[in-house]
Amino acid sequence: MSENQPFTWPPRGVTGWLVRTFAAGDGNPKSPELRTRLGMLEGWTSTAASILLSTIKLALGWMTGSIAVIADGINNLTDVGSSLVIAFGFRWSQKPRDLDHPFGHGRIEMVAALVLSITLIMVGLDVGKESVQRLLHPAAFTAPAWVVGLLAVTMMFKQWLAFFARKLARATEAKVLEADFWNHQFDVLSNGVVVVALVGSMYGWLSLDGWAGLVVSLFILYTGVRYARQSVSVLLGEAATKEEVAVVEKTAAAFPGVNGVHDILIHKYGDVRIASLHIEVDADKTAIEVHDLAERVERLVERESGCKTIVHVDPVDRTHPMYARARKCLKEIVAKDPRIVRFHDLRVSGEDGSFDLSVDVVVPISIQESSYEEISGEVKNILAQCMDGIRAISVVVEPAYAEETSY
């Protein structure tokens, strides 16, 4: 399915019938309840299909003696296990929250994807080993035309399964279903390689069988390694996307009374997302006014982003006579020093001729923490040269956990 193809929900055709019949899928596919039902539907559908396909291919492989067909059948057999992991993973991910897991069990989806990936890697290595043996010791086998035709039919069925998984992956934004789409898609490619090998056997090109098995094993290994890396990345705490951060930042920044937004963090626990952010407000507001403003920003960000939101308020006095001058100097520092991407929490206090200045500067996450003190010292020196009357300067350096744009 092309990324540019219009996306409709609920889908049409056989996929739509399955979704409506077995998942009651006319609602919002991103809602926890329907998302779980759709994930389980994909898992159970893939399980049934993989049992059927593996039975057919293993029988054909035994009849013809083709290592490529047997390898493809074993690949489909492992799909049974991975599809069961998907089905049960979605079910387990909706377990109620408990004291040990206050944010729910949503990351079980990524554990399921990791199990699927490890299974694929093990199968790929085994199939590769058998294929090398067949290359070293070619064996004669026969492949009637009807066998080739039947495998071509299974290839078309696998392509439908791939589209089915992709539609549900796009609807639910579930990484494990996206992984299963690629799993089915690579199965289609490996099927094609097997068909080529069988056609070659009709002309006496026996080595094609071993090479086909080896290509199939590489497809399996590639899929396994790719999704193992993605699953581990999410489990370790993958950063939010630019789009997710932008929604939170723009929504909060546009709220009346908010002068700046920074320190945006988004944590993901399956379908549960938690956002925390700091907003700058005028220092002359009362505690009640600030509390009310923070709660209204939280509700708005939650509505626009879908994240449970926590807002921390930073009062900043922008009316100080030296504030504008300090802000201008810091913008010049950001423009000239590639190590500094932005600043926030700029505070100026005291008299014009004897005042204190404090600010937090943000550096790329690639900058080593051992360099923070040096950067802080350089910023202090530039500010001291840029402004007269500074009594004390405090510059805190922190890493950029998210790609924000506002100062």
Does residue 404 have a pLDDT over 70? Answer: no
Sequence-distant contacts of 13-19: CB under 8 A, at least 24 apart:
14/160, 14/164, 15/163, 15/164, 15/167, 18/45, 18/164, 19/168
CA dist., res. 330 & res. 31, Å (int): 44
CA dist., res. 155 & res. 192, Å (int): 7
Angle of helix 67-93 relative to helix 175-202, nearest 10 degrees, comes to 170
Write the pLDDT tens digit of every residue in 81-94: 778 878 877 776 66
Q: What is the CATH number of domain 13-237?
A: 1.20.1510.10
Range 322-347 average pLDDT = 92
User: Which range (45-49, 78-82, 89-93, 299-303) has the least confidence?
Assistant: 89-93
- Mean model confidence pLDDT for the chain: 82
Range 249-255 average pLDDT = 92
**CATH class of the domain defined by 319-407:** alpha beta
* Position 66 confidence tier, pLDDT thresholds 50, 70, 90: confident
What is the fold, at CATH topology level, of the domain defined by 239-316? Alpha-Beta Plaits (3.30.70)
In the DSSP assignment, the letter for residue 369 is: G
Write the pLDDT tens digit of every residue in 154-200: 899 999 999 999 999 888 888 778 878 887 887 887 777 777 777 77
Write the pLDDT tens digit of every residue in 17-32: 888 888 876 778 878 7
CA dist., res. 175 & res. 5, Å (int): 19
Helices (H), 173-260: 175-202, 207-237, 242-253
**Interstrand relation of 308-316 and 272-282 (parallel, antiparallel or unpaired):** parallel
List the beta bridge partners of residue 272.
269
Q: Is 363 left (phi over 0), alpha (psi -120 to 50) or beta?
A: beta
Give domain limits for the chain. Answer: 13-237, 239-316, 319-407
* Confidence at residue 340, expressed as pLDDT on a 0 to 100 scale: 93
Task: Please indicate whether the domains covering 239-316 and 319-407 agree at the CATH topology level.
Answer: yes
pTM equals 0.55
